[in-house]
Amino acid sequence: MPQNYVPIFIFLLIAFLIGAGTVLVASLIRPNNPDKVKLMPYECGIDPVDSARKRYTVRFYIVAILFVVFDVETVFLFPWAVQFKLLGLFGFVEMMVFLGILIVGYIWIWKKGALEWI
């Protein structure tokens, strides 16, 4: 039913107004005197050394992919940990199978040298 979605649109509108309003009010009342240091891109407090727009070594991508795999693994571990008692032995065995498969993959990437940064 379309009318059921009206609250969502009102919610979206309010969210947009708050965001836009804050930026607008801030730009009106703040002092405006930029200098070189203030305009620098913020990188965890460290001064940037170079432009970010260049080619990266492919190793970054491997690390990123491996991170995603084990990140998703933890996503599956959390619900199991929360309902550990309820799921009982069945859940335990199923999770061990899941972890077992991932551990085979882990040993494999380790032996293949994907974790080394030469």
Does 72 participate in binding other proteins (rule CB under 8 A)? no
- Helix 84-112 × helix 59-82 angle, to 10°: 160
Nearer to other proteins, 25 or 107 (CB): 107
Does 69 participate in binding other proteins (rule CB under 8 A)? no
Classify 28 as helix, strand or coil: helix
Nearer to other proteins, 22 or 83 (CB): 83
Alpha helical stretches, state H, the chain:
6-29, 59-82, 84-112
Distance CA 106, CA 109 (A): 5
Select from 86, 116, 117, 118 the one that contacts other proteins (CB under 8 A). Answer: 86
CB 73 within 8 A of CB 102: yes
Nearer to other proteins, 54 or 111 (CB): 111
Does 1 participate in binding other proteins (rule CB under 8 A)? no
Does 107 participate in binding other proteins (rule CB under 8 A)? yes
Does 101 participate in binding other proteins (rule CB under 8 A)? yes
Does 48 participate in binding other proteins (rule CB under 8 A)? no
Q: What angle do CA 68, 70, 76 make, to 5 degrees?
A: 105
Distance CA 50, CA 9 (A): 43
Segment interacting with other proteins, rule: CB under 8 A, options 4-12, 42-50, 58-66, 83-91: 83-91
